[in-house]
């Protein structure tokens, strides 16, 4: 009996410590993910290649052949994680703001285990049709692949969802 009480106390202490540490670390890092350049920018010459005037060349190539976006951009390695926050893990309907830490966590998992860049998009849309319209506005070509920015759309924490559109 004493042993069980000690175990319960240890678990409570661990849970309290995890809660405090999770809040402190999320606040300290201000989230889990960030955008970061993967190209060298050592001087203005590099910037001229990656932005203007150099960026015009891949734009022209993509304008002639939209599939060239896979060669000249990160499009083929970027997905969107779309959620309205209405079915988040064991938390239920917590809304898009409160769901963002979970979607950032999913983006972290995509990067860690698949090397895929994922962008969490938490939207204030409650009806499935509204969510589809939001995605269509972000990705007007999603119903007629290929899409313009993302290689896939991952619907997460939305009732009735477990879909990936590629």
Active site positions, annotated: 51, 106
Tell which residue, 152, 142, 145, has the closest CA to residue 77.
Answer: 152
- The answer to whether the beta carbons of residues 37 and 46 sit under 8 Å apart is no
- For tokens 């269509």, the residue is 136
Tell which residue, 71, 77, 99, has the closest CA to residue 158.
Answer: 99
Q: Is the dihedral of CA 108, 131, 141, 155 positive or negative?
A: positive
Give the CA count within 13 Å in the CB-facing half-sphere of 126: 3
Alpha helix positions (H), the chain = 2-29, 44-50, 56-64, 69-72, 95-114, 128-138
């Amino acid at each position: 009996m004493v042993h069980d009480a000690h175990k319960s106390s240890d678990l409570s202490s661990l849970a309290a410590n995890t809660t405090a540490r999770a809040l402190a670390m999320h606040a300290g890092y201000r989230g889990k993910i960030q955008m970061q350049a993967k190209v060298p920018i050592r001087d203005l010459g590099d910037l001229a290649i990656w932005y203007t005037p150099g960026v015009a060349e891949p734009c022209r190539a993509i304008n002639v052949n939209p599939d060239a976006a896979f060669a000249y951009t990160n499009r083929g390695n970027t997905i969107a994680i779309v959620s309205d926050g209405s079915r988040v893990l064991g938390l239920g309907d917590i809304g898009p703001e409160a769901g963002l830490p979970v979607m950032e966590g999913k983006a972290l998992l995509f990067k860690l285990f698949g090397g895929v860049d994922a962008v969490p998009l938490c939207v204030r849309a409650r009806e499935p049709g509204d969510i589809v319209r939001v995605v269509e506005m972000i990705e007007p070509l999603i119903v007629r692949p290929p899409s313009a920015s993302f290689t896939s759309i991952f619907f997460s924490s939305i009732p009735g969802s477990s879909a990936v559109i590629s």
